[in-house]
Amino acid sequence: MNDGLLPPSAADRLAAGLDALAVVPAAHAPLLDYLALLARWNRTYNLTAVRDPLEMVDRHLIDSLAMRPFATPLAATGGRLADLGTGPGLPGIPLAIACPGLRVTLVESNGKKARFLREVVRRLDLGHVDVAETRIEALDRPGAYAAITARALATIPLILQLGGHLLAPGGRLLAMKGVHPAEELAALPPGWRLLGSHRLQVPGLDAERHLVEVGRAGPG
């Protein structure tokens, strides 16, 4: 599936990142296939501003997989995760590959990106992944997900406004952020509370990363 689009060093860089994050080696080949598809489609459809495949390894694949420990408990119970505004499938596709028990919905309103996502699902045979080509607020699946996530999408209050209806009782938002989003957390809408904030270590990246967990206020 590579077709010469990826430099040989991409496989080595990905393997090193997966090893540092303790991701199972079986994820390496499908992640590399996903990267090759992304690099190919990106030439025509401009799915991501990152053009260098080696940079994609660090900034897209490894960065997404840094939150895998928070998805693993969901995967163990066959839980459902909605990746809101997923773009070219980040972090949803890397998480689905690294956590096969995780059922992932990729929510994306952009038509060309949704077509790419469906092609990835088909080519990689990701039967536990579905694509919802719709605006987040229009997704009519209230309470269907144990978790929602978003990466570089919007502020935490806006994510909750658009997608909070998707969370089951006891569900949580897993928001990927750069620096700690103190101002966003101070502006949480009524009925929501901070459950935890975790600084992530991303191999190959010097930039600051945080995973913030938000849930409904009250029991559960």
- Please give the tally of structural domains in the chain: 1
The average confidence (pLDDT) of the chain is 93
pLDDT band at 207 (very low <50, low <70, confident <90, very high): confident
Is 139 within the bounds of a domain?
Answer: yes
Is 2 within the bounds of a domain?
Answer: no
Least confident of 74-78, 144-148, 165-169, 180-184: 74-78
pLDDT, one tens digit per residue, over 8-30 is 899 999 999 999 999 999 999 99
Is 1 within the bounds of a domain?
Answer: no
Distance CA 180, CA 92 (A): 22
Helices marked H in the chain — which ranges?
Answer: 8-20, 28-45, 53-56, 63-65, 68-76, 92-98, 111-123, 156-163, 182-186
Distance CA 3, CA 165 (A): 42
- Please give the share of the chain, as a percent, with pLDDT higher than 90: 80
pLDDT, one tens digit per residue, over 131-175 is 999 999 999 999 999 999 998 788 999 999 999 999 999 999 999
Is 100 within the bounds of a domain?
Answer: yes
Residues 6+ apart with CB under 8 A from 63: 90, 91, 202, 205, 209
Mean pLDDT throughout 196-203? 93
Res 4: pLDDT: 63
Given a cut of 60, whether residue 2 has pLDDT beyond it is no
Res 136: pLDDT: 97
Domain CATH number, residue 19: 3.40.50.150
Q: Count Cα neighbours of 93 within 13 Å in the Cβ-side half-sphere.
A: 32
Task: Report the phi/psi class of residue 100: left, alpha or beta, with left for phi > 0 and alpha for psi in -120 to 50.
Answer: alpha
Is 143 within the bounds of a domain?
Answer: yes
Boundaries of domain holding 208: 8-216
Res 84: pLDDT: 98
Q: Count Cα neighbours of 166 within 13 Å in the Cβ-side half-sphere.
A: 28
168 φ, ψ to 5°? -70, 165
Least confident of 5-9, 114-118, 193-197: 5-9
Is the peptide bond between 91 and the residue preceding it cis, with omega within 30 degrees of 0?
yes
Mean pLDDT throughout 62-66? 95
User: How many CB atoms sit inside 10 A of residue 9's CB?
Assistant: 11
Res 219: pLDDT: 59
